[in-house]
Amino acid sequence: MTGKRDLTYGKSPGKGLPAYFCRMNHHSAVRRFSSLRYCLSGLVLTGFLFTSAQSSAPPILTGKLQDSLLDEISGIAVSATHQGVLYVHNDSGDTSRFFAVNPQGALLATWYFKGLESSHGVKDCEDIALGAGEKTGRSYLYIGDIGDNRAVREYITIYRLEEPNVIKSSFAKTSALRAVYPDGPRDAETLMIDPRDRLLYILSKWEDSIGIYTLPWRFPGKGGFARKPLRLQKRGTLYFPGVKPFKYITAGDISRDGQQVLIKSYSQVFYWRRQAHEPLWKTLRRKPRQLPYTPEKQGEAIGFTPDGKACYTTSEGVHAPIFFYKIDP
């Protein structure tokens, strides 16, 4: 996500961060921290944030995004229909489109769709998810135009389309839902699909304790959109320890069977396993397990493989790496 925002939100700078971090927007801080981490391997902050990840098996680097168009990737979803296909998209500044790449990073196809915004079709798409929908046996892509750096948007928009039958560049017909938060506008980068309770999940990003919001996936027919924004339901909050901005929540995913959840920040990945007959927002209240994660330049994308036994991550930046992680049950 691009744009400027004071890290301190008008409050005193966070403890543990050098003063110049608090004068930068959060992406500049993340990039500066990434450089410092490699130059100063003994930095105390680095050891504090990444001890768990360093003690586990490293990820597999499958490739790097090869096309310079893919320069601000903010979401990733692994195809349920086409083996070796990953769907990705850029965030703010791009038009209403998404891409297919392979794990090696080669661009396979580009799809454009009609967005509801006057400029570029979309404002700030921050996540993409793949999950179930009305048609049994079909998989759907959900694209979340949910970014809101300044927390001023009147509504957010979620687009949905059936997963393409053929990996070939074309125009995609989508349906769309508009939604509003019950407690005012906010920034978000995480969109997830719960196949069991048939709910969309959105997690906010900036707050010290982030909000959990849900919405039923009642989309209009293909090519249509709901004119009246629907009201999201707030299910609670989650607190993640750590230092801002590295603790900010940037991505998440739910496995296709609805049994597993991944949520990632810039510095960590958290994992939950759902218990029988448990609403997912209650699952998230339990203490998560921290998974191995090699911090990326600006990692804002994570997605389960269809079998739920692994996941992929990637980052913003030209020629960003694609990582593959196995998940121990």
Which pLDDT does position 172 carry in this prediction?
Answer: 96
CB atoms within 10 A of CB 295: 22
DSSP state of 245: T
Taken in order of first residue, the domains within the chain and their CATH numbers are 60-326 (2.120.10.30)
For residue 213, what are the β-bridge partners? 202, 234
Q: How many residues does the chain have?
A: 329
| Contact between 189 and 1 (Cβ < 8 Å) | yes
For residue 291, what are the β-bridge partners? 269
Quote the CA–CA distance of 261 and 239 in Å, as a whole number: 16
Which pLDDT does position 205 carry in this prediction?
Answer: 96
- pLDDT (tens place) for every residue of the chain, 329 residues total: 444 322 222 233 333 333 323 334 444 444 444 443 333 222 222 333 333 434 456 899 999 999 999 999 999 999 999 999 999 999 988 999 999 999 999 999 999 999 998 778 999 999 999 999 888 889 999 999 999 999 999 999 999 999 999 999 999 999 999 999 999 999 999 999 999 999 999 999 988 899 999 999 888 766 566 678 999 999 999 999 899 999 999 999 999 999 999 999 999 999 999 999 899 999 999 999 999 999 999 999 999 999 999 999 999 999 999 999 999 87
Query: Could you tell me the strand order of the sheet in which 86-90 lies?
Result: 73-78, 86-90, 97-101, 107-113, 170-172
For the CA atoms of 6, 8, 9, 10, the dihedral, rounded to the nearest 10 degrees, stands at -100
Quote the CA–CA distance of 322 and 268 in Å, as a whole number: 16
Residue tagged 């921050």 (tokens): 126
For residue 88, what are the β-bridge partners? 76, 99
Which pLDDT does position 222 carry in this prediction?
Answer: 64
Burial class (CB in 10 A: 0-12, 13-18, 19+), 82: middle
Q: What are the tokens at 324?
A: 């593959």
25-56 CB burial, b ≥16 within 10 A, e <16 = bbbebbeebbeebeeeeeeebbeebbeebeee
Which pLDDT does position 290 carry in this prediction?
Answer: 95
Percent of the chain with pLDDT over 90: 73
| Contact between 213 and 249 (Cβ < 8 Å) | no
Which pLDDT does position 329 carry in this prediction?
Answer: 74
